[in-house]
Structure 1
Amino acid sequence: MRETTPKGLHRLAFGGDYNPEQWPESVWQEDVRLMREAGVTMVSVGIFSWALLEPEPGTYDFGWLDRILGLLHENGVRVDLGTPTVAPPAWFYRAHPEALPVSREGVRYSYGSRGAICHSSPAYREAAARITTQLARRYATHPALALWHVHNEYGVPVSACYCDTCADGFRRWLDARHGSVEAVNEAWGTAFWGQHYTSYEQIDPPRLTPTVGNPAQQLDYRRFADATMRENFRAERDVLHRLSPGVPVTTNFMTALSQSDSVDYWAWGREVDLVTNDHYLITDGRRTHVNLAMAADLTRSVAGGAPWLLLEHSTSGVNWQPRNPAKRPGEMARNSLAHVARGSEGAMFFQWRQSRRGAEKFHSSMVPHAGTDSRVWREVVRLGADLDSLAGLRGTRTVPDVAMVWDWHSWWAQSLEWRPTEDHEARERADAFYETLYDRHLTVDFAHPEADLSAYPLVVVPALYLTTEAAGRNLREYVENGGTLVVSYFSGIVDEHDAVHPGAYPGALRDVLGLTVEEWSPLGEGESVRITGPDGASLTGDVWTEFVVERGARPVWTYADGPAAGRPAVTRHRLGEGTAWYVSTRLDVASLDVILSAACEDAGIEPRVELPRDVEVVRRSGDGGDFLFALNHTAHDVKVPLEATGIELLGGEHAAGHLPVPAGAVRVVRLDA
């Protein structure tokens, strides 16, 4: 059985990326002293240090790394040790310029950033295996070693390269996937626009073309690029497993839907020993804590519901958005504990000490430029103490209420050119449905469309343009067996090759929804439609309308105006023991709540009206006990009802009846059995 828990770490993980190579050794003693003061339990080391560890080809210098690992061990700090393969040295690129990736436009990137890698490059793969092997041989049994950290944020900033080496790799991948050129022609529909191939040598990556290229080819290339990165991860992982058995291996994901769209994390989650994630607040005017909760739920789901680890987030502002505000007092702790509530086994940051130089010198850190006489440092120390008091929840699991279906392949396909409207976006619908469920105080699991859904009373499908026949059968069986399903428009349309399912829309979901769609009629910019319900109430939709024909479903809301006036807008279909709802226009969060309220009633989910908006209540449960998290994102004190008594772990008080949660604060109750 593979090890999934950081070796030797008996508390929650707390610390961050530590880059001692940026500082003179005279600073290191001060660093470890401050780590002890803050209660740091683990740091990530060596992620960008290849040029220092191997200053010349085949010449290694581990002296500085020996010294820092020894110092950390002496001070009780565990180490997440990186393989530095995200940033090859300058000498490597001088010898192998072909390892720099080529853009779709045919431009080869230059050295001087990070992540500039052609993942098909044999020279890169050989060099990465050599440095990983050297590290594993030297540190496999080091007493500080808790976790191996391969590469860094695969797919950021470059996932796909379009060079000739990748073209050769793509042809081999196509042969392995499809089996013959004839099968590729069939899958890609090359009869259209005369794109037929008679040999693999004629097939190139989907480089820049004068008009839209073959969408199925583009979709397969995304799959190839993702699989190639994953192949490189596995190569390093296998070296580490062989030479350093018993130490788990990870790589840091970026599951937040707004931050990484090039990686199929369902596939990656099966490859790592421990799922870890990086998350940064997207400060675009929306409620940042909702996106945080969504990212945490998605990461936990990629981990199969098991505990995972937040490996990076920020103590305060970041440096790479158009505007980078500081976090407000208490927000850092609230963000951190929100991740813990949703399954993380700790809270790590980028980075420990704020850099003086380089591109991220204005990115916040645990030790800021202002030093220890600062609000950020005082909050870091307080958070360390709070996390230490929560060590007893290690190994427990977050308890979900409902599920949301999500698939990266569908997102890739829907994001290609020439769709019915540029105003419809899969992530926007996922955000809207998630926010609606969040505001109903429901904890969400994400699920692959072909996964077992039987544990969930309610499943929502916000955007599943690409729906396989197997996924369609799975969703139908879920409803027939008693589940409640809610599907949004432009779902069920194409198969895994981006080919439209035979017959009327919505293709693979016609039977479960009990309807067909004759046509779509997207709305113009700024246009909206009114839909009316059985009680005369009205809601407003925009972006999208459809000409829906009932085939067993019954209309619940009807278009009152617009292109589809008089036609069903929202339908309900009784099928077997369950119910399937369909929403054929874009509704905002408030309007979606009306529909999801009725669906929740079908699913037997009681409303949680006693909880105020922007107050999260999440439960973790397991052999360690039951833990209730209450997070108050508002500016007002609130009281959260308790169904059982317990001890509030951050303050030590007895809790019964109602749990007081001050404005902006977090409370965690270990419930009595």
Structure 2
Amino acid sequence: MTEHTNALDRLSLGVCYYPEHWKEELWEDDFRRMAELGISIVRVGEFAWSIFEPEEGVFSFELFDRALDTAHRHGLRIIMGTPTATPPAWLTQKYPEVLNVNFNGQTIEHGLRRHYNYNSPKYRELCAIVVRKMAEHYRDHPAIVGWQIDNEFNCEISEFYSEADHAAFRVWLQRKYGSLAALNEAWGTVFWSQTYTDWSQVHLSRQTTAGKQPNPHLYLDEKRFISDSVIDFAKVQVDLIREIAPNHWITTNGLFGHLDSHRLTEEQLDFFSYDSYPQFSTISQNPDEQNPLADRGWSQTLSTVRSISPQFCVMEQQAGPGGWVNRMDMPSPKPGQMRLWTYQSIAHGANMVVYFRWRTAAFGHEMYWHGLNDYHNRENRRIREARGIGRELAEAGPRIASTSYKAEIAIVRDYDNEWDGEYDMWYGPFYWKSRNEWFKALTRRHIPSDNLYLRKGTTLTELQRYKALIYPHAAIMTDETAALLEEYVSQGGIVVFACRTGYKDERAQCYMRPFPGAAAKLCGISVEEFTMVKGTRTPVRMSWLADEANGVPASETAADSFNDVLLTESESAEVIATYASDYYAGKPAVTRNTFGQGEAWYYGAVFDDASAAQIIARIGLLSPADGVLELPPQVELAIREDAGGPLYFLLNYAEEEAAITLREAKTDLLTGRTVEGAVTLEGFGVLILS
């Protein structure tokens, strides 16, 4: 990373633009209108390899030179994309070894995008050539301020099975394990006679008698390998740009599977960028989900992005109805929604918001992925909404830019459990459900939360920013991680676990210890027995004891999906709830263990909103706006803060008006007016109070 970049020192509004898609006579008017809307930054180039290098070794920059010069005349800054997500047809025809191969061994042919593999030596060579030529050509262009390398790593597909990948995997394993004996031990290959006797026998996962059923320990290492492959591939481009254009910042966009985006950002980027499409939360919604958050749920994903970069860029902000010709049929944002989503991104840490896109393409797979303008290029509702946002941010942006998101609660995650849990049905589905239910419970009670990734370098100081850590179903837990959590709790922190915690090591092998394994000492309990909740005639319930100190009455909640039956092992562990049904009725279901100055909770089931609410009340979590604001559940509270004090972002995700109450006078940063007492927030409305 460079020592300093001022890319996010101010709050910028931008747009994605593809000059190669449009007649040149449109450019001048397009860039003029962008500037008039308050747009100051434009992303270009990320899919234009066939323009920059129309045939091998022949480079052409004239089209983009003219476009960038035109943009510069209108005061616009440029993010240049490297075009390596879309290798051109001449390349894949001449060098078919660069193409990716799917799990079944079928080559992924040219025709869409992201059809290459990261480990092809030839592809890396060709990428390095085009990136070097672009960096040399554009290093001194006055409009260019930064680079986006590639586009959306691991989007479309996040598994790679080309011959180059199999070969690179063996090298990666040799570095990691040193010997076949160590590899066999880590993967438990003595089971079913899978033991390897020569490195040539080792491959990425392949077809088995039962379809896609790889050795689970191999499969976890495979995902670690894929992540490392992406980062190594990115480094090729980053090193060239750092060398040739050291005054430009570097980012990349997207948040996709099998990639440690934290490590990618720490080692290669100046900051992370994300592509924000809140309607994905709506169209992919589980029809059986209770009280879904819809587009508000996107705030949890933005929290993940913030864990990578406290301040970040949204490189693609949804600006219209979206979809490819054959999929992703998202409706048009309703009046006010585009503005709401823009401020949702800003509230969660985005200091640069780039709309996708300026004008809807008239051809290709994304000709229905609408942006600010429609095909006809006339003024429309979305343009008027963007103009209003541009005016607001011209006034409010300087106050917002220096602030950072503030939360005292963190939902804890880690890559090993996410990747292993994709395959392991004995905890993976629970990992996602409990996290979502906790976020629901917190956000509806106006308690801001962070997503915190536990990693090998995580420090006690990082944990101590939070009053409580919610870490459900962390099956993989090393003794080092457990020791860090013990230190955090002993000094006054609160940690909340759930069933299926701590029983695996980093190889994803089960400890030969009483459950919850590495977390047992901290929790002061063991798991007497456990069961999937399947085939029971009636739903399992748990009974919570009254907590008079916190004013919480006795109650019952569901105990869904999986149940750990607990046994207290420490005198400091107390039973908070017992199971109320099935053969283990009356047995401990929830415990709290005093550990030093803090406490560790163990919840024996899979969380829902009601059970998360029980713990929220019993550990005394309150909204930071308590006593200042009264907010209805449909309004999200987010807080950004600096030395000048907090900014309260109030985001109404409902079409209906919301009644809020301010117990003290505040200034609405977007209008400059003073507000106090009863206030009506319009449907999809936004207030930023200081």
TM-score class, shorter: over 0.9
Partner of 2:308: 302
1:533 aligns with 2:544: yes
Please say if residues 315 and 364 of structure 1, whose CA atoms lie closer than 8 Å, have aligned partners that are also in contact: yes
Q: Give the Cα separation in 2 of the matches to 1:579 and 1:377.
A: 52
Give the Å deviation of 1:664. 2.1
Describe how 1:327-366 pairs up with structure 2 within 5 A. 327-366=333-372
Residue 598 (structure 1) aligns with? 618
Contact 1:83–1:148 (CA under 8 A) maintained in structure 2: yes
How big is the shift at 1:642? Answer: 5.8
- Equivalence for 1:315: 319
Counterpart in the other structure of 1:293 = 299
Q: Distance in 1 between matches of 2:178 and 2:626?
A: 52
| 1:381 Cα offset (Å) | 1.4
CA shift in 2, pair 1:37/1:222, >3 Å: same
Deviation at 1:13, TM superposition (A): 2.1
- Describe the shift of the 1:488–1:4 C-alpha distance in structure 2 as closer, same or farther (beyond 3 A): farther
Deviation sequence 1:514-559 (CA, Å, 0-9, x none)? 1111332111268521111224421122211122111122211111
**Do the aligned partners of 1:82 and 1:148 also contact (CA within 8 Å) in 2?**
yes
Structure 2: state its 5+ residue gaps.
286-291, 547-553
After superposition, the C-alpha distances for 1:193-221 in whole angstroms (9 at most, x for unaligned) are 11112232221111111133211111111
| Residue equivalent to 2:594 | 574
**Cα separation, partners in 2 of 1:505 and 1:6, compared to 1, 3 Å:** same
Render the CA deviation track for 1:403-448: whole Å, top value 9, x for unaligned.
111112211111115x4378x3422221111111112212212222
Alignment correspondent of 1:257:
none
The aligned residue for residue 550 of structure 2 is none
Q: Check the 8 A contact 1:530/1:540 in 2, yes or no.
A: yes
- Supply the AA of the counterpart residue of 1:333: R
Contact map agreement 1:486 1:599 (CA 8 A) in 2: no
CA contact (8 A) 1:45 1:80 kept: yes
Given that 2:639 and 2:647 are in contact with CA atoms closer than 8 Å, whether structure 1 keeps it comes out as: yes
TM-superposition CA deviations, 1:567-618 (whole Å, max 9, x none): 11111111111111111112321332122221235x9989678321021222
Q: Does 1:272 align with 2:269?
A: yes
AA matched with 1:532:
S
Using a 3 Å threshold, how does the CA distance of structure 1 residues 41 and 604 change in structure 2: closer, same or farther? closer
The correspondence for 1:373, drawn from 374, 379, 382, is: 379
SS of the aligned residue for 1:587 comes to coil
Percent of aligned positions with the same letter in both sequences?
A: 29
Of stretches 395-404 and 119-128 in structure 1, the one that deviates more from structure 2 is 395-404
1:116-170 alpha-carbon deviations (Å, 9 max, x no partner) = 1111101110011011101110111211112110000101112321122111101
The letter for the 1-side match of 2:321 is G
Checking the alignment, whether the CA contact within 8 Å between 2:594 and 2:600 is kept in structure 1 is yes
Compared with structure 1, are the counterparts of its residues 370 and 461 closer, same or farther at alpha carbon in structure 2 (3 Å cutoff)? farther
The change in CA–CA distance for 1:542 and 1:415 in structure 2 (over 3 A counts) is same
Identify the residue that residue 83 of structure 1 maps to in structure 2.
82
CA distance in 2, matches of 1:279, 1:134: 31
Cα shift at 1:659: 6.0
What secondary structure is seen at the aligned counterpart in 2 of 1:132? helix
**Matched residue, 2:657:** 636
Q: Could you say which residue in structure 2 is the equivalent of 1:2?
A: 2
Equivalent position SS for 1:312: strand
Return the alpha-carbon distance in structure 1 between the equivalents of residues 81 and 70 of structure 2.
17
Kindly provide the amino acid, as one letter, of the partner of residue 562 in structure 2: W
The whole-number CA distance in structure 1 between the counterparts of 2:527 and 2:183 is: 30
Partner of 2:392: 386
SS of aligned partner of 1:500: coil
Question: Take 1:76 and 1:220, find their aligned partners in 2: how far apart are those partners?
Answer: 48
Give distance in 2, aligned partners of 1:334 and 1:560: 44
- Please say if 1:396 is aligned against 2:403: yes
- 2:191, 2:9 → 1: CA distance? 60
- Secondary structure at the counterpart of residue 86 of structure 1: coil
1:196 and 2:195 aligned: yes
Question: Could you report, residue by residue, the CA deviation over 1:9-39 in whole angstroms, capped at 9, with x for unpaired residues?
Answer: 8742212221111111111122112212211
Amino acid at match of 1:641: L
1:612 match: 632
Do the aligned partners of 1:3 and 1:248 also contact (CA within 8 Å) in 2?
no
Amino acid aligned to 1:405:
V
Please give the alpha-carbon distance, in whole angstroms, between the structure 2 residues aligned to 1:38 and 1:4. Answer: 29
213-222 or 590-599: which moved more? Answer: 590-599
Selected match of 1:487 from 497, 514, 528: 497
* Residue in structure 1 matching 2:423, options 398, 416, 419: 416
Q: 1:659 to 1:302 in 2, by over 3 A?
A: farther
TM-score by length of 1: 0.93
User: SS state of the match for residue 380, structure 1?
Assistant: helix
Deviation by residue 1:315-342 (Cα, 9 ceiling, x = unmatched): 1322155542221110111111011111
State the SS of the aligned residue for 2:367. Answer: coil
1:460-492 Cα deviation digits (max 9, x unpaired): 013322222211111121111111111122221
Letter of the 1:241 counterpart: R
Deviations 1:611-647 (A, max 9, x none): 210212222222566422222223123224365x553
Distance 1:619 1:467, change over 3 A: same
Which residue does 2:442 correspond to in 1? 437
Matching of residue 37 in structure 1 with residue 36 in structure 2: yes
